[in-house]
Amino acid sequence: PRVAVIVVAAGSGERLGSGVPKAFVGLDEHTVLHHALVAVFAAPLAQVIVVAPPSRVGDALTEAREVAGDRHDLVSVVPGGPTRQQSVAAGLHAVWADVDVVLVHDAARALTPPAVFERVIDAVRDGHDAVLPVLPVVDTIKRVDEGAVVEAVDRSALAAAQTPQGFRRPVLDEAYAEASADHTDDAALVQAAGGAVWTVAGDERGFKVTTPGDLDRARALLRSEAD
């Protein structure tokens, strides 16, 4: 299939609180966005769309071209919106006509290994409309109401969602065309539109850099591998 990857990088990174948009925070000598794009470009893809903060479109293009090397023709950068969902929608508008599979990936999951991209693409190619990489939930989970535990939740029935999430292109286009509420991921949006979502194994390294602790974890991982 012809695969496009939308890398959403337009968030401000409020919880990280580092003063620059999260995608442009350094992990080692390279930024979050740079690392995310290295894994993206390891996949056999036809197009890469980076959705950047409106004020950083030029910077994002420079970074993406650097990672793309002689495949820089595959790269487009578009400005994002105020929510993740609006940023994905902006990316979707830029997908080329001949693309038939679309992956949506959080730039903030900067250390996601290429193998996760492969599993997601393979599952879409095998006929699944929507594919979500997941990790088992390791914590004991409770449902809580105003401080009181309502019940324990069986964690074997739960999974933690990661990205890249992959879709047959018309499935994602239709879900976005119909979207009413705001969802935190694309699989939820497809599910809300009545679609079926299949899971594949995610990876511990696909954690999202959200808090300062996550940033420390990502930097420490890279440092330990550089030795």
Which residues of this chain interact with Mg ion, rule CB under 5 A? 11
Nearer to ligand CTP, 101 or 215 (CB): 215
Q: How far is the CB of 152 from ligand CTP (least distance, A)?
A: 28
Residue 199 interacts, among ligand CTP, Mg ion, none and using kind-specific CB cut-offs from 5 to 8 Å, with none
Which positions touch ligand CTP (CB under 6 A)? 8-15, 22-23, 51, 80-84, 87, 106-108, 208, 210
In the block, which residue shows the tokens 């969602």? 161
Nearer to ligand CTP, 125 or 219 (CB): 219
Residue 10 interacts, among Mg ion, ligand CTP, none and using kind-specific CB cut-offs from 5 to 8 Å, with ligand CTP
Nearer to Mg ion, 21 or 202 (CB): 21
Residue 122, CA distances (Å) to 109, 168, 188 in order: 20, 12, 21
Q: What is the 3-state secondary structure (H, E, C) of the chain?
A: CCEEEEEECCCCCCCCCCCCCHHHCECCCCEHHHHHHHHHHCCCCCEEEEEECHHHHHHHHHHHHHHHHHHHHHEEEEECCCCHHHHHHHHHHCCCCCCCEEEEEECCCCCCCHHHHHHHHHHHHCCCCEEEEEEECCCCEEEEECCEEEEEECHHHCEEECCCEEEEHHHHHHHHHHCCCCCCCHHHHHHHCCCCCEEEECCHHHCCCCCHHHHHHHHHHHHHHHC
Q: How far is the CB of 169 from ligand CTP (least distance, A)?
A: 20
Nearer to ligand CTP, 11 or 164 (CB): 11
Q: How far is the CB of 220 from ligand CTP (least distance, A)?
A: 19
Residue 107 interacts, among ligand CTP, Mg ion, none and using kind-specific CB cut-offs from 5 to 8 Å, with ligand CTP
Residue 108 interacts, among Mg ion, ligand CTP, none and using kind-specific CB cut-offs from 5 to 8 Å, with ligand CTP
Q: How far is the CB of 211 from ligand CTP (least distance, A)?
A: 8
Q: How far is the CB of 72 from Mg ion (least distance, A)?
A: 29
